[in-house]
A = this chain, B = another copy of it.
Amino acid sequence: MAEITIREIAKRCGVGVSTVSRAINNHSDINPETKQRIMDVIKETGYIPNNSARNLKRTDAKCIGVLVKGITNPFFTPIIEKIEQETEKKGYALVLRHVEAYENEVNVALELEKEKRLRGIIFLGGSSKHDADKLRQLNVPVIFATIGSDISDNLGRNAYSTVSVDDAVESRKMVEYLIGLGHRKIAILTEGNDQPSIVSLRYEGYCDALNKHGIKLDEKLVKYVDRRIYAMQNGYETTKALIESGAKFTALFCVSDVLAVGALRALADAGIRVPEDVSVAGFDGQEIAQFCVPRLTTIRQPLADISEETMRLIFDLIEEKRGHKHLIFPGELVEGESTRKI
């Protein structure tokens, strides 16, 4: 069965292909009756325009691309929803693209920009460190949302924007909060910091806080999760290992809420009460934090602000109203039921 094309529709309607194109694309310079006739035939035949051909020819596609590393992470859900809303409001189309863990998001963006004629690109998730030159190969504005970056790097500073919390600062905030509650033996569940990442910044904040308060970093209280398994499971097993190691701790700081959920379960299984025996804190402020038992003390990222400013910024950049910016929003320490004064 031969694919039906615009030519075929034109033939059946007894009009030229450009007229059909006009009908499809809602151009004004077309007789409404002709248009109706064409639309009828299109519906009848089930004709669907080929997007590859359209993208190839089209120059003015108002399209913004969102590349998400870890798209199944519910953390991104509210951000994506906001992006969708604002994009539509501006009359732009959205291309949401999932980036595999092993893929380099900038490479994917490079491809997608050409394929879809993107006008702007938003990165969610993934690395916080990118080659500025490569970034500049993207001929359209680029924003990293919820991914802070090393903006002391003057080369990179003007190659892209960032809208995020300061992960190191927020992390320190949480650890200082725990210290303020009287904790000195504070364990941490973090990821391997072989790559520069948000998580390594959170680990940094932990170290800073301890340091500032004259608490010596105890290697035995630093546990790295194995990235390869799902996060809750990860948090569970690593916490179990921590407990079984016999190391003494009165608080456990997890670099994400999801890890913390696993930790809560592991502690419960070991008969360790939260917060009576051990305080537990998370990071992110995901939905689960306020629904788990006990509710989790966490750093809530201001996702509404972040998404809003991201959208404002991307359109300003597209319209060349201003240059690249690095916006930092404060996180909010939400006290749950998982921490207590000792």
B288 touches A261 (CB 8 A): yes
Query: Which B residues touch A116, using CB under 8 A?
Result: 52
Secondary structure dominating the interface of A: helix
Interface residues of A (CB under 8 A from B): 1, 3, 46, 48-53, 55-56, 71-74, 76-77, 80, 84, 96, 98, 100, 110-112, 114-116, 134, 137, 139, 230, 232-233, 236, 261-262, 264-265, 268, 287-288, 290-293
Contact indicator A232/B288 (Cβ below 8 Å) = yes
B293 & A115 in contact (Cβ 8 Å cutoff):
no
Report chain B residues within 8 Å CB of A50: 56, 114-115
* B291 touching A236, Cβ below 8 Å: yes
Q: Are A287 and B48 in contact (CB under 8 A)?
A: no
User: Contact between B268 and A52 (Cβ–Cβ < 8 Å)?
Assistant: no
- Known contacts A98-B98, A230-B287, A232-B287; is A56 also within 8 Å of B48 by CB? no
Q: Which residues of chain B are near A80, meaning CB under 8 Å?
A: 72
* Minimum C-beta distance from A267 to chain B (A): 10
* B100 lies within 8 A of A84 (CB): yes
Contact of A46 among B48, B137, B288, B293 (CB under 8 A): B137
A-B contact pairs, 15 of them (CB 8 A): A48-B114, A49-B114, A50-B56, A50-B115, A51-B52, A51-B111, A51-B115, A52-B116, A71-B71, A72-B72, A72-B74, A232-B287, A232-B291, A233-B291, A265-B292
Among A72, A80, A100, the one with the most B-chain Cβ atoms within 10 Å of its Cβ is A72
Across the interface, do B84 and A76 meet the contact criterion of CB distance under 8 Å? no
A265 closest partner in B (C-beta): B291
Q: Could you tell me the distance between the alpha carbons of A267 and B55 in the complex, rounded to whole angstroms? A: 53
Known: A48-B110, A50-B115, A52-B52. 19 other contacts (CB 8 A): A48-B114, A51-B111, A51-B115, A52-B53, A52-B55, A52-B56, A52-B116, A56-B56, A72-B74, A74-B74, A84-B100, A96-B98, A98-B98, A232-B288, A236-B291, A261-B292, A264-B291, A265-B290, A268-B293
**Pair B288/A288 contact, Cβ less than 8 Å:** yes
